[in-house]
């Protein structure tokens, strides 16, 4: 195709109208690879795995819109944090069916700064070496209950190296595995609730404000600065709640 023909084809690229009335120019597969920094082979593979929807058909040609871009960028972000393909599939499967490209972009923006300890994939012998001892079945069960080590489908383990020694220390202190399982369920349940409520605040209040002001590119920096403040707030709330629970327990026993 000659340069003039290419420009003409680009000028005639179809558009897609969203529910809010906005229009977006659709991308060819070549333009999509340039936009997301992935090969044609990878994009087709992720499509076959259901991580991104099929191309939008316009006659005999296929095109790609903002939803394809947002999902591919999310996949790339998850990969950069050490997520396996099966873990990425589970994460994407958990996205709401009505998630917009903006919702997905917001999830990607919040993902990077909030995951400070990327999991590392290790073989069993490598995990034992990192632990400094041979781990038995009970050790692995305890570490899994504490969210530190998880087995993968390929026979290896995803491990949080930052917390591995902490978990081993609790094992050496005789911390009951049943308590670790129960505590993990509590943290998971309340963690999901906190995450969803914070995401709703960002989706309904933070993202629209920055988007309207034309400074959506600053959202990443905002979230990075909020991370340490949020951690401090969570720890303070936890400590206050524990202190209050202790006072209530003492008051009940004094009656």
Kindly report, residue by residue over 197-216, the tens digit of the pLDDT.
888 888 888 888 887 888 87
Does residue 184 lie in a domain region?
no
Does residue 227 lie in a domain region?
no
Does residue 7 lie in a domain region?
no
Output the six-digit token pair for 80: 């950069």
pLDDT (0 to 100) of residue 12: 57
Task: Spell out the residues 6+ positions from residue 138 whose beta carbon is closer than 8 angstroms to its own.
Answer: 177
pTM of this prediction? 0.50
Does residue 146 lie in a domain region?
no
Confidence of residue 135 (pLDDT cuts 50, 70, 90): very high
Residue 64, domain CATH: 1.10.1660.10
Kindly report, residue by residue over 7-54, the tens digit of the pLDDT.
444 445 687 665 555 667 889 999 999 888 899 999 999 999 999 999
Q: Does the pLDDT at position 1 exceed 50?
A: no
pLDDT (0 to 100) of residue 195: 79
Separation between Cα atoms, residue 245 and residue 255, nearest integer Å: 16
pLDDT (0 to 100) of residue 187: 81
Comparing 38-42, 86-90, 180-184, the range with the smallest average pLDDT is 180-184
pLDDT (0 to 100) of residue 71: 93
Does residue 195 lie in a domain region?
no
Does residue 45 lie in a domain region?
yes
Average pLDDT over residues 59-85: 87
Q: Answer for the pair 98, 19: CB distance below 8 angstroms, yes or no.
A: no
Output the six-digit token pair for 65: 């819109």
Number of domains in the chain: 1
229 or 29, which is more confident?
29
Comparing 3-17, 98-112, 148-162, 221-235, the range with the smallest average pLDDT is 3-17
Task: Spell out the residues 6+ positions from residue 128 whose beta carbon is closer than 8 angstroms to its own.
Answer: 134, 135
Owner of token pair 């009970």: 138
Phi-psi region of 220 (alpha: psi -120 to 50; beta: other; left: phi over 0): alpha
Does residue 181 lie in a domain region?
no
Domain range for 41 is: 12-114
Does residue 62 lie in a domain region?
yes
pLDDT (0 to 100) of residue 147: 84
């Amino acid at each position: 195709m000659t340069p003039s023909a290419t420009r003409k084809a680009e000028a005639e690229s179809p558009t897609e109208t969203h529910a809010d009335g906005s229009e977006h120019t659709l991308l060819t597969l070549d333009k999509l690879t340039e936009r997301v920094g992935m090969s044609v082979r990878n994009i087709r593979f992720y499509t076959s795995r259901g991580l991104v929807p099929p191309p939008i058909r316009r006659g005999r040609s296929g095109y790609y819109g903002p939803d394809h871009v947002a999902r591919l960028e999310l996949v790339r972000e998850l990969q950069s944090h050490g997520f396996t393909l099966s873990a990425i599939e589970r994460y994407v499967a958990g996205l709401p069916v009505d998630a917009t490209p903006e919702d997905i972009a917001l999830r990607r923006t919040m993902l990077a700064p909030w995951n400070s300890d990327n999991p590392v994939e290790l073989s069993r012998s490598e995990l034992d070496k990192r632990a400094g001892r041979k781990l038995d079945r009970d050790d692995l069960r305890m570490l899994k209950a504490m969210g530190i080590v998880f087995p993968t489908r390929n026979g290896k383990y995803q491990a949080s190296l930052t917390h591995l020694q902490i978990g081993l220390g609790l094992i050496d202190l005789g911390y009951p595995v049943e308590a670790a399982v129960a505590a993990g369920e509590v943290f998971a349940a309340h963690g999901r609730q906190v995450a969803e409520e914070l995401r709703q605040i960002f989706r309904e209040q933070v993202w629209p404000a920055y988007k309207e002001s034309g400074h959506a590119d600053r959202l990443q920096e905002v979230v990075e600065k909020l991370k340490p403040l949020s951690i401090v707030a969570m720890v303070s709330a936890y400590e206050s709640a524990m202190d209050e629970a202790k006072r209530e327990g003492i008051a009940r026993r004094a009656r």
